[in-house]
Chains A and B, each alone.
Chain A
Amino acid sequence: MDRALFPEGLERCSFGKFALWLLFITVFLLYGLYAMIVIFAKGIVVTGLDNYFGFGLWITVDLAIIALGAGAFFTGFLRYLLKIDQLANIINLAVIVGFICYSGAMLVLCMDIGQPIRCWFGYWHPNVHSMLTEVIFCITCYCIVLVIEYVPIILEQKQLYRIPFIHHLAHNMHLNMALFAGIGAFLSTFHQGSLGGMYGVLAGRPYAFREGFFIWPWTFFLFVLSAVGCGPIFTVLIATLMEKLTGRKLVDYKTKALMGKIAGTMLTVYIFFKLIDTWAWAHDYLPTTGLTFDQMFYGVIYGKWLMFTEIILCGLVPAIMLITPSIRNNPKMLYTAGILDCIGICLNRYLFTVQTIAIPLLPFDKWQTYAPNWAEWATTGLIVAYGFLVLSLSYRYLPIFPQERAMNK
């Protein structure tokens, strides 16, 4: 039925099957949209957030998907600026995943703020000292860059590409892609860092506060490193997931392993500094606040196992796995390492977001706990479903994977 729209020379599943799949996604989309409408109508009182937990699942999701979406800028940087041509096999997917992550993050932010009508105040009345201002500006700008990077992929759609104007436009945009990749890399580095900086500057929150270099606390750099340490491998995981779902080969393993190597290298550098940072924090900084390492943790929900899981099991372990060629070249091991890596980074974002504010600092105060409620989960599901939708449509109608035709002969 929609065969004429398929990418040149590629097979796709029947329209009926595709429609069923879309229906499945739509269920989540609609539930999420319902939650979003409720949130806009009644305010975020309907969420599980409260006086102690002003930040919760949404901010965690924001930070996590922005980190995971880092594959776009870093792959773009390596592909266009460092000219690692092999990455051309996966760059389109990296861009799309990046676009989904960033646009999704902006939607979540709009829900998260109490007065969405005033969201533009961030641009019109910026506080130049706030890390969040930097985040707002960079995310918006980078999202625009991602749109610019995504557009040529759309324009390459078989039917559109026949129109000479669009053909030329796409071609010209491609030619200048290095420029956008450069801008993207610059913007991304800053806001990935600023997201870390957001926590590092919290002088009143010893779990997150860090000393730093010039105006940037150490978390600024750690967040950049951790993002590039997981973004590329996340793109690989998405590609692999798509292969499993569609039953077609999309990206050759060599490219995946290369992405794994890139992520692994960055993750190793990150974990190295993270270990030093954590040690210095616990040993040098915490005592100056009169707090002990043990006081940073509570029960199971905010227990030490979280930090152990984050740094060792989902940090050090995948880092070693990814930089060891023999392990990396085993697909199962690569994917396992990739999943651990992504979990570790998400956990890191969660801990910085939630554990930071769960710790009672006033000696007469108590620990409070936070659990997201349906409204937060539903809207998070909305973002995931939105991602699947964009990815499904892109896969079905756009020529994303240059190797697909050759590999599925």
Chain B
Amino acid sequence: MGLDRRGFVKFVVGGVAGTLFTPVIWKGMDDAAKWSQNWGWIPRLPKGERKAVPALSKLCKSGCAVKVQTVGGAPFAALGNPDNPMSKGGVCPICAGSVQLMYSPARVAGPLKKVGEGKYSPIKWEEAEAMLVEKLTPLKGQDGKIAAISGDETGTANEVLSALLAGLGNASGYCAMPGEMLTATRGVKLMGGAGQPGFDIEGADFVLMIGADALDSWGASVANQKAFAASHPTGEAATARFVYAGPALNNTSGVCDQFVAVPPTATGVFALALANALISVGATCSAPDFADYKALAAKCTPEVFEKATGLKAEVLKDLAGKIKAAKAPLVIPGASFGQGSGALDFVAGASLNVLLGRVGQKGGMTLLPAAPKALSAAADRAEAKDAGSFMAQVATGKAAPAALIVYEANPAYALPQAGDMTKALGNIAFKVAFATYMDETASLADLVLPAPHPYERFDDAMNPYGVAKPTYLAGKPVLAKPVVDAKDPVDVLLAAAGKLGLSLGFETYADVIKAKAKAVGADMDTLTGGAAWTGEPKGGSLSLGAAALAKAPAPKADDKAVALAPLSKLACGTTELACPPADLLTIRDTELKGKDLFVQMNAATAKKLGVAEGNKIKLTGGSGEVKALVHVNEGVAAGTVAMLMGFGHSAWDQYTKGKGDNIFKILTVSDEAGTGMKVWAGSTVTVAKI
């Protein structure tokens, strides 16, 4: 039987009809739906036993005591450690996304050697370590030829760096990235004391933060937040009042009882005017320089205050009254972005604690004793040179190191007048960067040595800035092996030291930390098990620092320029770390939109500058310029423009590179009268519409 066209059509129709009586279509539809529920290109979930491993995450400045959640041995989340006083179960936004950072696309996967402008080729560790030794050998014993910049404020790695430099005859080359710790320690010295100051927020019933963003990015932020929480039990009356006096409404001020909008140029005036107001309501103290201080403060009359801050004098009076009425008031001085303010601003703020008799008291300002060292050859932390000043010397040729070791720091990005700093780095023949991520500095280095992520290494934290009592934390690796070909920088340095003929007494960082723990009087296993060691603050009194304050220059009036207030928000990253991928969501669309950063100012300032919401403007200051969009925000102090730091990265990964602009480019460095320090808080900028 031949099959004609009509017959074929019937056959096909019959086939289709028959198919409807089979499971083909129905099962096919069901399987297709199941396929759509389990697409092969969508990652599968890990399986296995779950554990919570205590660890120390030093991705944020102060370090978070966390419990890393693992499944089948692989970490997937970091939660707080309820047993550790620094965490009490809380965790900062950076460390909450810390595990994901192990797999950041910006991670340095293995040692890299620079082979051309911006070009790197991967090398073996043996070659890399040999190169390091080879480059340092000829410089041995020539003071000023080797320098190191550390971005780690708390680790004992600093002792190794310092001892190494000293051993190589380059003791003066040890520098630290700027931060509150350096400024405050200098300030304490000016007030006739010694040591790192601490602030007992937990014990205070009135906390005045002048600039210091203590509940978000300043100091041991999680511990600070926990102290705040303890005084504000949900559903019950608060037992402490918090006041924030700073350039803009920020996360800290979001929960404060009061916000006082003080332009960043007027921080010192504010503190002294407050002192004046306090003295006028009867505050007095036994400090030897009280009379001088009183005279100084008297110059900061309500009129001076009003002119400098744009606020009404009643604010001051009201504040003084509240402080006077408090049983345990505490003043925390600082910069809105955790650096760059001079020692004098610190003295002005801290002197209020002296004036109120709060030094060494419960809920007051404390002084921490110098921590015992693991390496006796190491310099004290406070003796480190300020990396900003050092790089400025390199720029002008006053310092001429031939080799620079960069440890967990990003000076090419995070020093004021960043443009100049990048150029200055070019003056140094050999730069080695110990970096976890390919940041701006690593991208300029001649040798990049991958450092492990905090969950892949031993590390410790001694006295994170702000803690009221001596505090020591240590952590051990969660993972047996780093996920990339990384080596502990300290291990590498110790090995290099050996090859350079220098014995520092240790072979690994773990041994160093063990020795440190022993020196402190703590048990290494207990510490790495998630506990913290705490000691007692030392006693001692302070002067009001009147002599130093007397040298402070009167604020200059500049009608063309506006004050620049850099703002720091932990979730946006730190000076060492670009915003983690898991934190990107937290950036508001009034802070960053696409690739444009917003600059915030109040309506009056906007009017004065002739700009409006959404305008694109150029800010010029320091040695550079920054482009941004205007966002009118009534929470910014008079005559001030505020801007988030942590943006404008030229390195890192697709999540951060090229987004926004780097505020460090337009910060102006100036010399502080009488202290010889470099300051850049209170920079001014000019604004032009583009």
Is B587 interfacial (CB 8 A cutoff)? no
Q: Is B36 an interface residue (CB 8 A)?
A: yes
Binds B, one of A114-122, A301-309, A348-356, A374-382: A114-122
Give Cα A117 to B33, complex, Å: 6
Q: Smallest CB-CB separation from A117: which chain B residue?
A: B36
**Residue contact B36 to A115, C-beta cutoff 8 Å:** yes
Chain A nearest CB from B614 CB (Å) reads 14
User: What chain B residues lie within 8 Å of A121 (beta carbons)?
Assistant: 33
CA distance A117 to B35 in the complex (A): 9
Q: How far is the CA of A117 from the CA of B34 in the complex (A)?
A: 10
B584 interface contact, C-beta 8 A: no
CB-CB nearest in chain A for B36: A117
How far does the alpha carbon of A121 sit from the alpha carbon of B34 in the complex, in Å?
A: 12
0/1 string, B17-41, CB within 8 A of A gives 1: 0000000000001001101100000
**Binary interface encoding of chain A residues 152-166 relative to chain B, with 1 for a CB under 8 A from any of its CBs, else 0:** 000000000000000
B36 touches A120 (CB 8 A): no
Closest to B29 in A: A120
Q: How far is it, in angstroms, between the C-alpha of A176 and the C-alpha of B381 when the chains are bound?
A: 97
Q: Please give the distance in Å from B27's CB to the nearest CB on chain A.
A: 13
Which chain A positions have C-beta within 8 A of B33? 117-118, 120-121
Q: How far is the CB of A140 from chain B (nearest CB, A)?
A: 15
A118 to B35, CA, bound (A): 10
Kindly identify, within residues 25 to 63 of chain B, every residue whose CB is under 8 Å from any CB belonging to chain A: 29, 32-33, 35-36
Using CB atoms, name the residue of chain B closest to A116.
B36
Q: Inside 8 A of B35's CB, which chain A residues have their CB?
A: 117
- How many residues in A have their beta carbons less than 8 Å from beta carbons of B? 5
Bound-state CA distance A13–B33 (Å) is 48
| Distance between B444 CB and nearest chain A CB, rounded to angstroms | 38
Query: Considering the complex, which residues of chain A in the window 97-136 have a beta carbon less than 8 Å from any beta carbon of chain B?
Result: 115, 117-118, 120-121
Q: Looking across the interface, which residue of chain B has its beta carbon closest to that of A120?
A: B29
Chain B nearest CB from A206 CB (Å) reads 26
Scoring B residues 597 to 628 as 1 if CB is less than 8 Å from chain A, else 0, what string do you get?
00000000000000000000000000000000
Chain A residues with CB under 8 Å of B36's CB are 115, 117-118
Q: Tell me the complex Cα distance, A120–B31, Å.
A: 12
Give complex CA distance A115, B42 in Å. Answer: 15
How far in angstroms is the closest Cβ of chain A from B513?
47
Q: For A118, what are the chain B residues with a Cβ–Cβ distance below 8 Å?
A: 33, 36
Give the residues in chain B near A120, CB-CB below 8 Å.
29, 33
Q: How far is the CB of B345 from chain A (nearest CB, A)?
A: 35
A324 CB, min distance to chain B CBs, angstroms: 51
- In the assembled complex, the CB of B377 is this many whole angstroms from the nearest CB of chain A, namely 58
B29 contacts which chain A residues (CB < 8 A)? Answer: 120
How many Å from the CB of A199 to the closest CB on chain B?
29
Measured CA separation A118–B36 after assembly (Å): 8
* C-alpha gap A227/B36 in the complex (Å): 37
Which chain B residues border A117 with CB–CB below 8 Å? 32-33, 35-36
Chain B residue nearest to A115 in the complex (CB): B36
Give Cα distance in the complex from A118 to B32, angstroms.
8
Which A residues are in CB contact (< 8 Å) with B32?
117
Closest to B35 in A: A117
- Bound state CA distance, A115 and B32, in angstroms? 11
Contact with A along B307-335 (1 / 0, CB 8 A): 00000000000000000000000000000
B37 to chain A: closest residue by CB: A118
Q: Nearest CB to that of B33 among chain A residues?
A: A118
- Rounded to whole angstroms, the CA-CA distance of A120 and B32 in the bound complex is 11
Q: Mark B502-546, 1 if CB is under 8 A from A, else 0.
A: 000000000000000000000000000000000000000000000
State the Cβ distance, A32 to closest chain B Cβ, in Å: 24
Query: With the chains together, A275 CA to B147 CA distance in Å?
Result: 81
Instruction: Please measure, in the bound complex, the distance between the C-alpha atom of A117 and the C-alpha atom of B30, giving whole angstroms.
Output: 9
Which of B621-651 touch A at CB < 8 Å? Answer: none
CA distance A299 to B29 in the complex (A): 47
> How far is A121 from B33 in the complex, measured between Cα atoms in Å?
9
| Cβ of A159 to closest chain B Cβ, rounded Å | 14
Nearest chain A CB to B682's CB is how many angstroms away? 33
Q: Kindly state the separation between the CA atoms of A121 and B32 in the bound complex, as whole angstroms.
A: 12
CA A115 to CA B36, docked complex, whole Å: 8
Q: Min CB distance, A92 to chain B, in Å?
A: 27
- Taken together as a complex, chains A and B put the C-alpha atoms of A75 and B29 apart, in Å, by 37
Instruction: Find the B residue at minimum CB distance from A121.
Output: B33
Bound together, the chains give a CA A141 to CA B32 distance in angstroms of: 24
Looking at the assembled complex, report how far the CB atom of B34 sits from the nearest CB atom of chain A, in whole angstroms.
Answer: 10
The CA of A120 and the CA of B36, in the complex, are separated in Å by 13
User: How distant is B633 from chain A, measured CB to nearest CB, in Å?
Assistant: 15
CB distance from A154 to the nearest CB of B (A): 16
- Nearest-Cβ distance from residue B411 to partner chain A, whole angstroms: 40
Inter-chain CA distance A115–B35, complex, in Å, is 11
* Cα–Cα, bound, A115→B29 (Å): 13
A115 cross-chain contacts in B, Cβ below 8 A = 36
Q: Report the Cα distance A118→B29, complex, angstroms.
A: 8
Q: How far is the CA of A117 from the CA of B29 in the complex (A)?
A: 8
- A244 CB to nearest chain B CB (Å): 39
Q: Report the Cα distance A120→B27, complex, angstroms.
A: 12
The smallest beta-carbon distance between B312 and chain A, in angstroms, is 28
Contact with B along A173-184 (1 / 0, CB 8 A): 000000000000
Distance from A184 Cβ to chain B, minimum over Cβ atoms (Å): 25
Cα distance A120–B25 in the bound complex, in angstroms = 12
Minimum CB–CB distance for A118 against chain B, Å: 5
A134 to chain B, nearest CB (A): 22
- Nearest Cβ in chain B — how far from A211, in angstroms? 37
Docked pose: A42 CA to B29 CA in angstroms: 21
| Residue of B32, B33, B35, B36 with most partner-chain A CB within 10 A | B33
Q: In angstroms, how far is the closest chain B Cβ from the Cβ of A221?
A: 36
* Alpha-carbon separation in the docked complex, A120 to B29 (Å): 8
Give chain A nearest CB distance to B7 CB in angstroms. Answer: 16
Interface string of B122-154 (1 = CB under 8 A from A): 000000000000000000000000000000000
CA distance A121 to B36 in the complex (A): 13
In the docked arrangement, what's the CA distance between A353 and B659, Å?
36
Give bound CA distance, A332 to B32, whole Å: 54
A360 → chain B, closest Cβ, in Å?
Answer: 14
- Tell me the smallest distance from the CB of A327 to a CB of chain B, in Å: 50
**Complexed CA–CA distance, A386 and B527 (Å):** 73
CB interface residues, A 61-117, toward B, < 8 Å: 115, 117
> Bound complex: CA of A293 vs CA of B32, how far in Å?
48
The docked-state distance in angstroms from the alpha carbon of A117 to that of B36 is 7
Q: How near does chain B come to A311, taking the closest CB pair, in angstroms?
A: 35
> In the assembled complex, how far is the CB of residue A365 from the closest CB belonging to chain B, in whole angstroms?
12
Alpha-carbon distance between A118 and B39 when the two chains are bound, in angstroms:
13
Please give the distance in Å from B163's CB to the nearest CB on chain A. Answer: 55
> Shortest CB–CB separation between residue A364 and chain B, in angstroms?
13
Which B residues, 653 to 669, have Cβ-Cβ distances below 8 Å to chain A? none
CB of A326 to closest CB in B, whole Å: 55
Looking across the interface, which residue of chain A has its beta carbon closest to that of B589? Answer: A366
CB distance from A225 to the nearest CB of B (A): 38
Give the complex CA separation of A363 and B29 in angstroms. 45
- How far, in whole Å, are A318 and B170 apart by their CA atoms in the complex? 92
Q: Taking the nearest CB of chain B, how far is it from the CB of A100, in angstroms?
A: 25
* A interface footprint on B294-314 (CB within 8 Å = 1, 0 otherwise): 000000000000000000000
Residues of A295-328 whose CB lies within 8 A of B: none
CA–CA, A117 and B32, complex, Å: 7
Give 8 A-B pairs besides A117-B35, A117-B36 with Cβ atoms closer than 8 angstroms: A115-B36, A117-B32, A117-B33, A118-B33, A118-B36, A120-B29, A120-B33, A121-B33
- State the B residues within 8 Å of A (CB): 29, 32-33, 35-36
Query: What are 10 A-B residue pairs whose CB atoms fall within 8 Å in the complex?
Result: A115-B36, A117-B32, A117-B33, A117-B35, A117-B36, A118-B33, A118-B36, A120-B29, A120-B33, A121-B33
Q: Name A's B-contacting residues (CB within 8 A).
A: 115, 117-118, 120-121
| In the A-B complex, the 9 residue pairs with the closest CB atoms | A117-B36, A118-B33, A117-B32, A115-B36, A120-B29, A117-B33, A118-B36, A121-B33, A117-B35
